[in-house]
């Protein structure tokens, strides 16, 4: 096994472990931190596979922007729910069914790929300038819509945070 294969599998295990920990955490800030670690692992995987631009975009967009927005929402809204930790039978059955469907689909995809042979894929390499030109010439509307949605989400969080602060200061003044 080559060094690249060992690194690939080590990074894949890191991504799976950090994502599993993120999904199972009850504390939202801890879940967001482990999800950021998972995004870093994905960036390492992109870099290992020869796509440094995608690795950089993963870190800048997902870890730098999206995760900061998630943490901002978590801190501003201050979610306080019940901490039961026990799933109902219906939720357990639905999770088990979805897990079985996912594993069956993965097995079918691996078998179909193995039947196709060992044809090597051609690497597609694009310079960042060419990629940026393509992205902003062909998909400018999608980029504008995404940025507008992020702006709306940020304004919504600020509005929610302002209302919560007003209620908290109103309770303190009434005391």
CA distance 54 to 92: 37
Poorest-pLDDT segment among 19-28, 66-75, 100-109: 66-75
CA distances from 125 to 30, 41, 51, 73, 111 (A): 36, 21, 8, 37, 29
The candidate with the shortest Cα–Cα distance to 73, out of 18, 147, 153, is: 153
Query: Any idea which residue has 């993965």 for tokens?
Result: 106
CA distance 161 to 76: 5
CA distance 162 to 175: 20
Helical ranges in 49-88 per DSSP H: 52-57, 67-77
What is the gyration radius of the CA atoms in the chain, in angstroms? 22
* Whether the Cβ atoms of residue 45 and residue 15 lie closer than 8 Å to each other: yes
CA distance 52 to 56: 6
pTM of the entire predicted model: 0.59
Question: How do residues 88-120 score in pLDDT, each as one tens digit?
Answer: 888 888 988 998 998 899 888 888 777 666 666
Question: How do residues 128-174 score in pLDDT, each as one tens digit?
Answer: 788 888 888 999 999 899 999 989 988 888 888 776 667 777 666 65
- How many Cα neighbours within 13 Å face the side chain of 15? 14
Question: Six-digit token pair at 141?
Answer: 């509307």
């Amino acid at each position: 096994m080559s060094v690249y294969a060992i690194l690939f599998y080590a990074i894949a295990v890191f991504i799976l472990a950090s994502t599993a920990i993120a999904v199972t955490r009850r504390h939202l800030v801890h879940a967001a931190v482990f999800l950021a670690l998972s995004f870093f692992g994905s960036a390492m995987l992109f870099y290992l596979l020869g796509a440094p631009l995608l690795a950089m975009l993963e870190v800048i967009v997902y870890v730098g922007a999206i995760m900061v927005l998630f943490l901002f929402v978590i801190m501003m809204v201050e979610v306080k729910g019940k901490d039961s930790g026990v799933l109902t039978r219906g939720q357990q059955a639905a999770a088990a069914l979805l897990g079985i469907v996912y594993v069956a689909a993965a097995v079918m995809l691996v078998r179909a790929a193995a039947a196709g042979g060992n044809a090597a894929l051609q690497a597609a390499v694009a310079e960042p300038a060419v990629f940026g030109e393509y992205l902003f010439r062909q998909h400018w509307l999608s980029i504008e819509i995404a940025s507008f949605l992020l702006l709306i989400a940020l304004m919504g969080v600020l509005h929610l945070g302002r209302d919560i602060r007003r209620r908290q200061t109103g309770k303190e003044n009434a005391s």
